[in-house]
A and B are shown apart, each in its own frame.
Chain A
Amino acid sequence: MEITRRRLLVLLPGAAVAWKFVLAGTPEAAPNYKLTEHWWAMLIDIPKCIGCGSCVRACAEENDVPEGYFRTWIERYHVADWKIERPEVESPDGGKNGFPPHADDGGKNFFVPKLCNQCADSPCTQVCPVGATFITPDGVVLVDKSYCLGCRYCIQACPYGCRFLSPKTHTAEKCTLCYHRITKGLTTACCEVCPTGARQLADLKNPKDPIHEFLRTHTVQVLKPHMATGSKVFYNGMDGSVR
């Protein structure tokens, strides 16, 4: 077919529309996964945590977390007798290689795993000026790497210190609740390797999830409830000294 000026003018809009569909890319990777049927959360059972660091190592391996940065980490608390407002907290290398023995000089010692609280009303998504961080319809706070400017507003806004600026991509990075795993029917890497079941992934929209029974029958707390972030990481048996 000879391309005349007239034919070219007719073909161009068609080509533009086709190109737009090419640019849009393929839709979701997990075709059977429905965004509206889940509302993800996590349960952390502090009395079960042994501070082995398996979760921290697994997270780093699963998500290619840069050395020296953490999407999840473990803190060891030491509360001397009545000094509940002055706990000693340490987290050597995020607890990645466990914790050195601590002299048992009385008081209370325990481990607290930390991660992104997947807040339903998260401060980090509210401050993002470009819509690079957002909460998905299934309740996970994610960062769109290709949209993030690296302005660090979200890092300042997070009351839990769960975000960092990746030295590789210079964009904000955080726990994705292993979104690439949970949408494929797997659990998160940290929950997969936790040897004592101290971490459990929970789907609040699934009426058969054991989380509902657990929440009914246990004394459960979230971190910094006074900040009204709508945190979805629930801590069982959490001491009042935990910040």
Chain B
Amino acid sequence: MLGIKEHCAILGADVTGRYGAGNANLFKDIEHLIRLVAVIAIALVAFVILRAAVVPHSFGQYGHYRGAAIGEIASRPVAFAGHDTCEACHTDVVDQKKLGKHVVIACEACHGALAKHVDDPGSVQPKKLDTAIVCARCHEANSAKPKNFPQVATADHSGGIACDTCHQPHRPKIETAKTETEGKK
């Protein structure tokens, strides 16, 4: 067992418990503390530098995510040009469509994505459509379709022949002899 004097000697305190000479002894081993603080400071600086290097510049710009990702996603090229673009050149088709119910349907709904054709109309040409397939996608009879939507069982209606044999797809209703001849395109 150690006595009070030995204890005080180990702790660097004054036996009397007064401040003074014992206080100096308290910082006798301060170099341990300095080393500890130095290690923590170096770790902190390393963390700050590493964090600045690793976390993207725009992280936190709008929220807890990389703000630059919005611009990256927005800058993808489009595949469908949009009907406004088509209509700028193909005014004859626009005039045809205005006369029938298909006026509301966008060009690329049937003709497919054609932004590449817009970029280079000469070399990229839209494919010729098989109306027996394209028309049936919408107009094949199905009990789940709205009742007022025009539908036919193609096997009975046409026997599988191409729809544009009788109908003009841009203006599908078969009308009087006059409009039928001029509508053919």
Contacts and interface: CB of A to CB of B under 8 A. Distances in A.
Interface in B84-134: 104-106, 108-109, 112-113
Interface of A: 20, 23-30, 33, 35, 47-54, 58, 61-62, 76-78, 98-99, 101-104, 109-111, 131-137, 142, 144, 146-147, 176, 179-181, 183-184, 186-187, 189, 192-197
- Interface centre among A50, A61, A103, A109, by most B CB within 10 Å? A50
Decide if the interface of chain A is mainly helix, strand, loop or mixed: loop
Contacts of A99: 142, 144
Interface residues of B, number: 42
Contacts of B141: 101
Interface in B134-158: 136-138, 140-146, 149, 153
B71 interface: yes
Majority-rule SS of B interface residues: loop
A137 B62 contact: yes
Given A28-B75, A109-B142, A132-B65, 10 more contacts: A35-B62, A50-B142, A58-B113, A101-B142, A111-B144, A131-B63, A133-B65, A134-B63, A180-B74, A192-B109
Nearest to B77: A180
* Residue among A48, A76, A111, A180 having the largest count of chain B Cβ atoms under 10 Å: A180
A146 to B, nearest CB: 7
A134 B65 contact: yes
Contacts of A77: 144
Most central of B69, B74, B113, B138 by chain A CB within 10 Å = B74
A104 B143 CA distance: 6
A143 to B, nearest CB: 8
Interface centre among A111, A147, A187, A195 (most CB of B within 10 A): A195
Interface of B: 57-59, 62-66, 68-80, 82-83, 104-106, 108-109, 112-113, 136-138, 140-146, 149, 153
A196 B148 CA distance: 12
A48 B76 CA distance: 31
Contact of B66 (A51, A144, A183, A194): A144
Given A76-B144, A131-B65, A180 B108 contact: no
A164 to B, nearest CB: 17
20 contacts: A27-B71, A28-B70, A29-B71, A50-B138, A50-B142, A50-B145, A51-B145, A53-B137, A54-B137, A54-B138, A62-B79, A109-B144, A131-B63, A136-B62, A136-B70, A176-B73, A179-B73, A179-B74, A184-B74, A189-B80
